[in-house]
Structure 1
């Protein structure tokens, strides 16, 4: 029972943080939706590029998180700070190309996602402003992972509440020109998001350094980085980065397929993914919590305890996924009529969310293994091979054939993409049972 309490104690703030984050995305979508389908599509496509950046950055930072959790399990604060320092430096360098593309070549970026000139034109101002938030977001993410690893998951939650509350208020004022502010529309949403992320970054750094929490990184920790430490770090972190890159690029290709199926499909996918985010975020918080707890245990080489913990975490995640799926379907049918979109789009959303929620337990099983278990033990290369191969050899080809060649409906194409989740779950089941992922990565540092 103690392990369930520990999982929930870490998972609950993460889940609540993600629900709040998704809620703000929902409110943003709702506000922008009042401007019409082109506005929803343009912001949705712009956010696809941020989605790509976010997921690859997540891969890099979660690679660092392997070391955060295991160093904290070992109570080695100096090693924790060195890991944080290296992860921050790597994340900032990684942000540079995304900033350059978003600010100096926004039309090229958006054209990759959609051929609709009207949508591209509307999205350019949004993407150029959002570009400045990338490095701020990177710093916030690194410290959020560090805080979770040391059992302070409630602090990123507080920061998220501050950041996203600010985002809602600023978006309302700047999109619609309330309280004397100018009517900026889509660009107003971007400015509100940028200011909110800046506030979140400043608040995070303030809490960590003024509070003198473990994991504070200084220049001395950068100077202490040696070739052996850096090599071992990237031995595990690069496969997680490659994993998320392959995965996010694959999902970006899904968006490209949907965009070429029509603006109504883009709008339906945007609305559906926003609602879907609630269910997914709650259940995936268990995977993040499991990664922290199991990483702490593996840091002191208690392998059997780690495996027993993983079995309990998996049972809890599957139970919650079923509950979340039911709530997701009910919520969709209740709120979809609020959006200013056509009946055809609303019907596509309803059918597709039922498919998505039906496969949620399978998605969560895969997420628990890739993000929660295998990654915690540094089994990152296997995770990369499984995720990349199933997505690019099964999911993306099926989506392309179904959506672009056979001209199938959006729900049908989405159903086809779920076949890669099924195949992936079978492979991951055998890897999980093999226990090959149970290892202490610090023994090689």
Structure 2
């Protein structure tokens, strides 16, 4: 640690823009690693950092209210300046200032960008404004949607069958509601797990009674004279009476406030190097600006240094920890972000867990268990190398596959147990051909 870094720990000012999971974890690590200077956290919502995964599960199901999702503090943060309920609207790199929606500016010595994502809205604003049309991303979204479901709608339409849409469909079925899911791809979860494993998810949904319509888009939503949702029209020419429509079409990264900043920003978020240091639009490192969480786009050495953008709880925590450490370190003491991605989802009574990046793969093979029983592990391969694995109610084996991914093991890898299929026959993973 240089004298400059030691002085900064005592006298510097760090600003974190984004008061959610990544922002909170970064603040905790900064204090834990000895930063006693001024620390300011800016957030556009009026709430202290809260946990998002329960919103589509426990909150919607009625187990807990939306305002009981506040994240616990792992480190005392009583001396942090919290500026909540005010959004950042601009960034002046030259003068090291964050501009706020209330007209004020906040000076910084070092900055962490952790502004995350927001729900992608329905593409027709007049239809999105109908009573009964909802998205799910924030605490307020969850509370609003829970109120809609409490009214016992005759039918719920979910637009999009990614993880959020599928989890919401699962909760609605558990609540005894009639559910239709419209998915433009050939199966649920196709963007995350591919069409081969997605077909298993499709069977699971239909067996539970979901009216699943794949290769189908919602072309329009229809309201009555009072502005309340009453129906939906589909790309195949059919229509359906619905009382609630939940738009689950993925997320949009919160980068608009950075458009004139000179940083490297785009649809995948804010581009950084392996140390979480942000790049400018010419690809040069900006030493005092860092990024972490859903809004970060970073190179991963296990995936040919391809830029990766992840919206996983574990990634937000791990990347925030690395970014915070590097904010307090000399170049020699910085550590790269090398964590293997991992996430999980509980839907229709099945615990789905994943390690690695399945969308990087071109093949998949069932390694263990039984697809028919919905208890199995599948490994993903790319050009003869193991790059990911997913389990359906078989998660105890995933640490083995994580080690295979880290070691760039051949594909298919050796199975760690006896419950293997008669033949390990890789098949095309069937991902949509888009960049991850």
- Normalising by the smaller structure, the TM-score range is under 0.3
TM-score by length of 2: 0.27
Considering fraction of residues, name the structure with more helix: 1
Between structure 1 and structure 2, the one with the greater Rg is 2
Larger RCO, structure (CA 8 Å, separation 6 or more) = 1
TM-score by length of 1: 0.26
Considering fraction of residues, name the structure with more strand: 2
